[in-house]
Structure 1
Amino acid sequence: MTKITALLLAGSRPGSDPLAQAAGVPVKPLAPVAGDPMINYPARALLAHPTIGQLIILTQTPDLYAANPATAWLASHPQVRFETSDSGIASTLLGLLDRPDLPFPLLVTTADHVLLDTAMLDQFVAEGQGADIAVAMVERATLLARYPSSRRTWLKFRDGWWSGANLFWFGSAKARAVIALWQEVEQDRKKGWKIIASFGPLVLLGALLRLLGLRSGIARIGRRFGLNARLVAMHKAEACIDADKVEDVTLIEEILRGRPGADGSATGSI
């Protein structure tokens, strides 16, 4: 198959981040998880996957990663390059879609996706094939069956309660229309009803009356924009556990200790 370009979002939002403050680091992706900067985990997972051709790290401060001994390996890796991002995710992506050096498909994830692994990437890449845009999500029952105390932001639909898994697939330039809409609601990403409303009154009404499933809602959004839009319902509960809060890091470190081959040591590079 065509090699995929992976985009790893490692930018900073306006204002201070509590995880970065607690760790005494200038930006959140450098905050340690089990002794290693969190950005190293998804970076290693992406670079180890056979479908990934290149990894582009998007950040406002690329020099911070080159200067940090624990992340300097990224700056010298032959498959990695840093690019300066805008303040918003959607505006950054819109600036990249038309570049000839970034052929489709594009896979986007975040630096706090510490638990990203081969199985998640296998599923997402397989189910994203052929879509113009795909989004990974986890249904609440999947998460709570394994981690009943984990707290997420949920959107309620007829087919369940769903939380984002920080994995996005852009298979063609048709995705531009949806990303432009994303840009409009980016500041309200935690306010589920505003995001749903932005996709039109039928989608909003269906969600409020619990008549619309997430899969059919995403497909309807795709038809509105003349593209193939797809939900990837992730099998692994860990797909929606990102390092967003102190309690998330505690849970993630517990999960990492339980993974095969885990010895509690930081590794620095692949």
Structure 2
Amino acid sequence: MDAIVTAGGIPLPEEPLYPATKGNSKAMVDIAGKPMIQWVLDALDQAKTIDRIVIVGLTEKSNVRCIKPVFFVSNQGKMVENLRAGGQRLLEVNKKAQYALFVSSDIPAITGEMVDWVVNAAIKTKLDVYYNVIQREVMEKRFPDSRRTWTKLKDMEICGGDMNVGRLSLLSDENDLWEKITDSRKSPLKQAALIGYGTAFRLLFGSLSLKQAEENIMNKLEITGRAIVCPYAEVGMDVDKLFQLEIMRADFKKRMKKAEKLAGGKKKKAKPAPRAKKAAAKKAAPAKKPAAKTAPAKKPAATKAAARKTTKK
């Protein structure tokens, strides 16, 4: 599968992350010495299930790196246009593509293993959308201070993930689904109209299970899809606010210290102690050959002849 990474967000002065970005791309904010998006690209590089990567919202001048083939699409200004432009570029480089993994550039804690899990969970069937959700207890165990927005269901409390699989045909100009979804993002009334007031009411009071919510919403949107309960909090730990950025920076600091400690431990194990060194050197040294016995000196020929004469007499 191929991945489309969305990196078009530029926080405005009134938005929470502006002090850290100051008019620049959110994807390029520094975390542990790298742009935030670079950690996402590293995870996609490590993933066995990803072949190509399309980055929407940045150009080659951003100096982000990928081992796998990477293609850039400039920022189109709006989320839907960015998604469509990314889908079109992907189809140009891979005409056989039917699905893509849509990844937000602001989930830097993901790993290649997590990417593979999401893709493998989706490719078992042929639905339109596979949407990841993270349970509250999973998120709060990994990131206790994340302060996510929770949807309370009958069987669990969830937040949405930022790495999902979708059919590329949903991005066509004829399909206005994405406009409806993005237009309703910050309006509860529009969201209710989109998914149906009955469903919205039942969601509000937590009287729907995840399965019921999934069926109601997919029927209303006239698409097929499945909500996947993801075991990785990192998939839903996006950076939207300054305190979340600080959580990520602190998390990476711990992660890097742990990696250094492990690397240091391996080096110590690799170096033998002084005594062990000598013993190892002795073992390694080639065994000395025993000194060859000195052969008795040969008598000169003349002496031998004289000896023979004496014997005859």
TM-score (norm 1): 0.80
Structure 2 counterpart of 1:80, one-letter code: V
Q: 1:145 — aligned with what?
A: 141
Where does 1:1-270 land on structure 2 (aligned, <5 Å)? 4-13=1-10, 15-16=12-13, 18-19=16-17, 21-22=19-20, 26-59=24-57, 61-62=58-59, 64-66=61-63, 71=64, 73-74=65-66, 79-97=69-87, 100-101=91-92, 102=94, 103-129=97-123, 130=125, 131-171=127-167, 173=169, 180-191=176-187, 194-259=190-255, 262-263=259-260
RMSD after superposition: 3.0
Taking only the aligned residue pairs, the percentage that are identical comes to: 23
- Structure 1 residue 191: Cα displacement: 4.8
| Structure with the bigger percentage of strand | 1
Change in Cα spacing, 1:30 to 1:172, as seen in structure 2 (3 Å) is: closer
Q: Structure 1 unaligned runs (5+)?
A: 265-270
Are the equivalent residues in 2 in contact too, given 1:23–1:32 (CA < 8 A)?
Answer: no
| Structure with the bigger percentage of helix | 2
Change in Cα spacing, 1:54 to 1:246, as seen in structure 2 (3 Å) is: same
- Structure 1 residue 63: Cα displacement: 5.0
Structure 1 counterpart of 2:77, one-letter code: S
* Worse overlay, 119-128 or 88-97: 88-97
* Worse overlay, 151-160 or 187-196: 187-196
Q: Which has the higher contact order (CA 8 A, sep 6+)?
A: 1
Give the number of aligned pairs.
253
Are the equivalent residues in 2 in contact too, given 1:34–1:253 (CA < 8 A)?
Answer: yes
Are the equivalent residues in 1 in contact too, given 2:6–2:55 (CA < 8 A)?
Answer: yes
Are the equivalent residues in 2 in contact too, given 1:221–1:229 (CA < 8 A)?
Answer: no
Q: Deviations for 1:134-163, whole angstroms, at most 9, x for unmatched residues?
A: 111212122123333221122222232221
Shift >3 Å, 4+ stretches: 16-21, 94-100, 174-179, 190-194, 223-227, 257-264
Are the equivalent residues in 1 in contact too, given 2:109–2:248 (CA < 8 A)?
Answer: yes
Structure 1 counterpart of 2:80, one-letter code: A
Higher gyration radius (CA): 2
